Amino acid sequence: MKGPAALLLAASLAAASPAAAERLVLSLSTNLVAIGSNYTGARLVAFGVIERDTQTVSRVGPYDVVVTVRGPREGVTVREKERLGPIWLNRSQQKFVEVPSFLAVTSTRAIEDAASEEMRRRYRLGVRAVVNAPEFTVGRGGEEDKFRQALVRLKGKDRLYLENPRGVSFVTGEFFRAPISLPATAPVGNYDVEVSLLADGVVVARRNASFELVKTGLEEQISEFARDRPVMSGFVTAAMALFFGWLASVIFRRD
C-alpha cells in the first residue's frame, strides 16, 4: 500500500457529458507490485472519489461501485473426462483463446442486487457476465456452456477468479476504497482495474487504471538469465548438480 497515491488523481478527466452524470476519480495505492524471494501474494487498494457539481442530477438511492481487476490474458483449454468402457479419459474439450488469467470483481453489495441483468451483460459486471460475454471464446454455442462453468469453478478453486460482494466500502458519501488481493499464483504482467459507478441500477460513470506485477532482484535476474542465455543456464544447472553430487560423496565418504 505504498506508492504515489496522488499520481492518478491529477490525471482526472473532463470526459463526462455536461450537466448529466457524475465524474469518477480513481487512484491505486501502487502502480508497481514487486515480486521478491519472499513474495506470497500482494494487497493493494483502489481509492475513488465521486465528483458532483450543481448541474449533476440528484439521485434517489445510494451509489454502488463495482471494481473489476483483470490479469494478463492467456489461452486456456478446458477438457472433460468421459467414460469409455472401463476407463475415464479426456474426450471433449473447449479452447478459450484469450481469457484473463486473473479476474476479481469487488462491489458494494451483491452484483445481482446492484445491477439488472441487462446492465450486467452490457457492462460485463461480475465474473459470470465477463465469462459469458461473446468475446470470451470463439464458441460453438450450447455445448460450450458447461466448459465456461468448469473454467469459472476451477479458476475459483485456485482463487484466480473471485467475487467479493462486500469489498468496496464508502468512507464518506463520495469517497470509497476497494481492497484488491492478488494470490501468489497470479501471473506476472499488466493488470487492468476498471471501476463502474452505478446509481439506481444504471452505470453512470466508468474509469480505468492499471498496475504491473513484476519480478525484481534475484528473481528477475534468474528468469532473464534463463530466457536470454538458455544454453548457458542449462550448463550452469548441470554443473551445479554435479558439484553437489560430488560434495555429498566427499562428505559421506566412509572408506
The minimum distance between CB 190 and other proteins, in angstroms, equals: 7
* C-beta of 49 vs 188, nearer to other proteins: 188
Selected range binding other proteins among 48-56, 86-94, 104-112, 196-204, rule: CB under 8 A:
86-94
Site for other proteins in 61-80 (CB under 8 A): 72-80
- Cβ pair 219, 37 in contact under 8 A: yes
Q: Figure out which of the listed residues 23, 70, 124, 155 binds other proteins, where binding follows CB under 8 A.
A: 155
Which residue matches cell numbers 473454467?
Answer: 151
- Shortest distance, position 158 Cβ to other proteins, whole Å: 8
The residue within the footprint of other proteins, chosen from 190, 200, 201, 208 (CB under 8 A), is 190
* 138 part of the interface to other proteins, by CB under 8 A: no
Q: Is 38 in the site for other proteins (CB under 8 A)?
A: yes
Restricting to residues 43-62, name those near other proteins by CB under 8 A: none
- Number of Cβ atoms within 10 Å of the Cβ of 71: 22
Long-range contacts of 78-87 (CB under 8 A, 24+ apart): 78/147, 78/150, 78/151, 78/154, 80/146, 80/147, 80/150
Cα separation of the two ends of the chain: 58
CA angle 78, 111, 104 (to 5 degrees): 45
Which residues 110-129 are close enough to bind other proteins by CB under 8 A? none
- Candidates 12-20, 134-142, 162-170, 246-254 — which segment interacts with other proteins by CB under 8 A? 246-254
- Shorter beta-carbon distance to other proteins: residue 147 or 176: 147
CA distance 177 to 5: 12
Q: Least Å distance between CB 75 and other proteins?
A: 4
With contact defined as beta carbons under 8 Å apart, do 26 and 69 qualify?
no
Q: Which is nearer to other proteins, 174 or 219 (CB)?
A: 219
Contact set with other proteins (CB under 8 A)? 35-40, 72-83, 86-90, 98, 101, 147, 150-151, 153-155, 184-185, 187-190, 215, 218-220, 222-223, 226-227, 230-231, 233-238, 240-242, 244-249, 252-253, 255
